[in-house]
């Protein structure tokens, strides 16, 4: 699959088919894609925790906050929850490029997962203490970003943004994601 098609298909999935697991081997392959990604000064400061066991996933889930625009939704129900996670840890004494490095690594993971037929959701809104209790953290690091992974369990509809970029669910429970047109995000060179 070409990168443009992967980008089109790679949406933030918030409801999964929980009964379909992902192997740790697959998670390690996704992490290996992130390992190969470029990073600031090639310092390779990020660390990754793959999580596939149900008992660990059930401890991580309550620490996560889902879909801020969907104010009346508290996240996926039992049966729709992610069967796997990858926790990205960043050094406590971070450098200014850590957020960029984390974003690049997360994008590589998400694209590798999509290429394998899985969906993902990058989550930065979580209870850091609960994540540390549930999964542990390397010495000198803190959890920076969590990627929920699994087989998509919802339909995502991309549409042209028409005054609002807020995602929403329709009466058929399809998740709609408004996107600005290409010409709306292009800034021409100043003469």
How do residues 114-145 score in pLDDT, each as one tens digit? 999 999 999 999 999 999 999 999 999 999 99
Cβ neighbours of 79 (radius 10 Å): 11
Taking 90 as the threshold, does the pLDDT of residue 17 lie above it?
yes
pLDDT band of 4, cuts 50, 70, 90: confident
pLDDT band of 71, cuts 50, 70, 90: confident
Tens-place pLDDT, residues 78-92: 999 999 999 999 999
pLDDT score for 52:
97
Region class of 14: left (phi > 0), else alpha (psi between -120 and 50), else beta: alpha
Q: Is the pTM of this model over 0.75?
A: yes
> Architecture of domain 155-191 in CATH?
Single Sheet (2.20)
CA pair distance 146, 133, nearest whole angstrom: 14
Per domain, the residue ranges of the chain are: 3-154, 155-191
Handedness of CA 40, 42, 46, 48 (dihedral sign): positive
CA pair distance 87, 80, nearest whole angstrom: 19
Alpha helices in 36-142, H assignment, sequence order: 54-60, 98-115, 128-135
Sheet of 175-179: strand order equals: 156-160, 175-179, 168-169
Q: Is 87 helix (H, G, I), strand (E, B) or coil?
A: strand
Tell me the two tokens of residue 187.
């800034």
What rounded mean pLDDT belongs to the chain?
Answer: 94
Whole-number Cα distances in Å, 185 to 5, 71, 103, 124, 179: 19, 28, 20, 24, 10
Sheet of 84-91: strand order equals: 47-51, 84-91, 141-150, 119-123
Taking 80 as the threshold, does the pLDDT of residue 94 lie above it?
no
pLDDT band of 68, cuts 50, 70, 90: confident
> Architecture of domain 3-154 in CATH?
3-Layer(aba) Sandwich (3.40)
């Amino acid at each position: 699959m070409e990168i443009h098609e992967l980008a089109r298909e790679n949406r933030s999935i918030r409801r999964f088919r929980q009964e379909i697991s992902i192997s740790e081997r697959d998670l390690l392959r996704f992490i290996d894609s992130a390992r190969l990604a470029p990073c600031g000064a090639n310092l390779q400061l990020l660390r990754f925790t793959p999580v596939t066991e149900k008992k660990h996933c059930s401890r991580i889930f309550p620490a996560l906050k889902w879909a801020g625009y969907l104010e009346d939704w508290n996240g996926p129900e039992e049966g729709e929850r992610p069967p796997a996670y990858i926790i990205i840890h960043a050094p406590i004494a971070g450098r200014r490029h850590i957020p960029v490095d984390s974003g690049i690594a997360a994008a590589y993971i998400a694209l590798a997962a999509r290429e394998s037929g899985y969906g993902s959701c990058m989550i930065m809104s979580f209870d850091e203490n609960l994540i540390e209790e549930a999964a542990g953290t390397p010495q000198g690091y803190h959890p920076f970003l969590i990627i929920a992974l699994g087989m998509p369990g919802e339909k995502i509809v991309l549409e042209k943004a028409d005054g609002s970029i807020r995602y929403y669910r329709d009466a058929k429970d399809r998740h709609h994601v408004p996107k600005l047109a290409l010409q709306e995000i292009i800034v021409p060179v100043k003469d």
